[in-house]
Chains A and B, each alone.
Chain A
Amino acid sequence: MGDSLRAGVELKITVRYFAALRDQRGLSHEILETQSLDPEHIYAELGALHGFTLSASQVRFAVNGQYVEPGYALAEGNELVFIPPVAGG
């Protein structure tokens, strides 16, 4: 995971799941201690663990109520939301 990992650095963040991702995770939110430092890598980490069907490039990320880029540098205590595409009407 290259740059997104810094040896010895661990973040505690809240992760929220929306729509299909909530179903695949089986949770609406959880508190995570992770060495991955951006949304993209945390998503990949969790995706491998829980079998998410969407790749990181198919999902959008919001931190503390604002859309951010996949490589956004997360800070301790951030709230990260995973938002999959939703089309139902």
Chain B
Amino acid sequence: MFQITDQPIVPPTPNCPTAGGFVTFEGRVRAMNEGRPVQFLEYEAFDEMAMAEGTALVEGAKLRFGLEWAQAIHRVGKLEIGEIAVWIGCGAAHRKEAFLACEFLIDELKHRLPIWKKEHYADGPSEWVNLRRESTGGQLTRSDVFARQIVMPEIGPAGQIALQNARVLVVGAGGLACSALPYLAAAGVGTIGIVEPDLLEPSNLHRQALYGFEGIGRSKARLAAEAIRRLHPFIQIEVFEERLCPDNAERIIAPFDIVVDGTDRFDAKFLMNDACQKFGKPLVQASIYRMEGYIQTILPGGPCLRCQWPTEPVDGCVSTCEEAGVLGVVPGLLGVMQAAEVIKIRLGIQDISSHSQVLVDLRDFATQKIVRTKRADCPSCQVPLRKLEPMKLAWEVSTEEVKQWTEQFICVDLRGETRSDSKIALGQLESIAAPLNLIDDLLELQKTKRLLLVCAKGRRSGMVVYRLLEKSATNVYSLRGGLEYKER
């Protein structure tokens, strides 16, 4: 039998008179991982799939090795150093089968269970590790997955980290969410919350292309989580199988950074508006009607939805998708636009002064921007407008900061040759060109001395540092803006 538990594992005592050899294995949380001190671990399982896989494995091992008794337990949640993360017990008539089966089970469980491990290090940010990846020896890194967008000047390593640290809540898992969710996940948003109480119905499928007919009758929130989890291992998903209402809105919304409105009810839209204003969260809204829709981003401080609608429209005053009908691509398009809006907000590339609502018509692809204005007596958004600050990274340093350094360092010039200007600019004597095996050589070198990577604009050096940090480098920096940067 197989079990997943969030409680400390108490190793069971097998009661099986036909077995003469018992082998047990305990996987415990160790204090160091790849040379880094671990504070604690978090395990997160995709429950249904993990239960199905785990049960099949244990039953399969019993048949394969002729076991009399077998049990495996996997712990989830937060685990301290020394706690048991996984427990396996195999009993067979003789010891040999029990040893073989126990080893087989731990290898296969690590390999096949959809369980993620987050390591919290004493010396830096935490990391999610997919156990399946780790056990197969695969070295899937964020740089591999997100390379094509990290290379964009608007994103870069700093932007990717901003996305990775983002917590985005998607309320509703209908047509809008079905296209917003996969693009948010694919872009590398680190934590995604999904709020949806409903079960999948056949009439959802024409516009909710994230699902399949085999999911009919199952929880849409869970189906959506399952679908986006397949994209890559660098994602944490929080599922709320409940309807957003005044009793739970603050609890659900408060821990997130940005909220995406994928609902089809006015009461939910106004509830999100008020909670987002209260907690200072941007809210990306969209609504659709047959072949039209609109999208708008409401920033903390307004203008908000109540500025637009001082009298809240009542549900039922206009037709819903059910009554009016809707073309599936309409929420598909608007949902993708919502994902784009979230990414822009997070990267600080949104023009926050415009405050427009964009009306979109799929008949002729006409869009119309309408400027929203703040209402002086609005009860909801009377807080000062907060400006979204661009992200600063600890490993990006300015020339001024470098000049303050007391620790000796080596300047690594990535421009292809060592030129004298890097020495002059930084007052640094030891300067080398990029080594042949860039990442591996620099990883070794930074163990002996601090490295400052420089290039013309600071983009390439930033990306190399990002890759090095992913491989657990600790003493590497990038010159912000590069050698051509002029202080303004």
Contact = CB atoms under 8 A, between A and B. Distances in A.
Nearest to A84: B318
Interface stretch (A4-12, A33-41, A52-60): A52-60
A12 B286 CA distance: 32
B331 interface: yes
A88 B293 CA distance: 8
Given A58-B313, A67-B308, A89-B264, A83 B289 contact: no
Interface stretch (B154-162, B320-328, B438-446): B320-328
Contacts of B324: 20, 88
B315 interface: yes
Contacts of B350: none
B318 A86 contact: yes
Nearest to A19: B289
Given A89-B175, A89-B176, A89-B287, A65 B266 contact: no
B317 A89 contact: no
B289 A67 contact: no
Given A86-B293, A88-B288, A88-B321, A81 B308 contact: no
Contacts of B308: 60, 67
A85 B317 CA distance: 8
B139 interface: no
Contact of A67 (B262, B313, B373): B373
A19 B290 contact: yes
B437 to A, nearest CB: 51
Contact of A87 (B177, B266, B369): B266
A17 B105 CA distance: 65
Quick one: which of A16, A28, A57, A86 has the most chain B CB within 10 A? A86
A67 B371 contact: yes
A22 interface: yes
Interface string B257-269: 0000111111001
Interface in A35-79: 54, 57-58, 60, 62, 65-67
Contacts of B321: 88-89
Interface string B266-295: 100100000000000000001111101110
A86 B261 CA distance: 13
Contacts of B263: 87, 89
A23 interface: yes
A85 B270 CA distance: 12
A88 B320 contact: yes
A85 B267 CA distance: 12
Contact of A85 (B176, B262, B318, B372): B318
Contacts of B363: 28
Interface string B283-311: 00011111011100000000000001101
Nearest to B261: A89
Given A65-B371, A66-B370, A23 B290 contact: yes
Nearest to A61: B370
B172 interface: yes
B174 interface: yes
B319 interface: yes
Given A20-B324, A60-B309, A86 B294 contact: yes
A88 B370 contact: no
B262 A89 contact: yes
Interface in A11-29: 16, 18-20, 22-23, 28
Given A60-B308, A81-B368, A86 B373 contact: no
A60 B269 CA distance: 17
B359 A20 contact: no
A18 B174 CA distance: 23
B309 A89 contact: no
A87 B371 contact: no
A85 B309 contact: yes
A54 B316 CA distance: 11
Given A60-B308, A67-B371, A89 B318 contact: no
A80 to B, nearest CB: 11
Nearest to A62: B370
Given A67-B370, A85-B309, A88-B289, A20 B319 contact: yes
B311 A86 contact: no
Contacts of A87: 263-266, 269, 287, 313, 315, 318, 320
Given A88-B321, A89-B172, 4 more contacts: A20-B318, A23-B290, A86-B288, A88-B324
25 contacts: A18-B292, A19-B318, A20-B289, A20-B319, A20-B324, A22-B292, A28-B361, A28-B363, A54-B317, A58-B311, A62-B370, A65-B368, A66-B371, A67-B370, A81-B359, A86-B294, A87-B263, A87-B264, A87-B265, A87-B269, A87-B315, A87-B318, A88-B293, A88-B324, A89-B172
Interface of A: 16, 18-20, 22-23, 28, 54, 57-58, 60, 62, 65-67, 81, 83-89
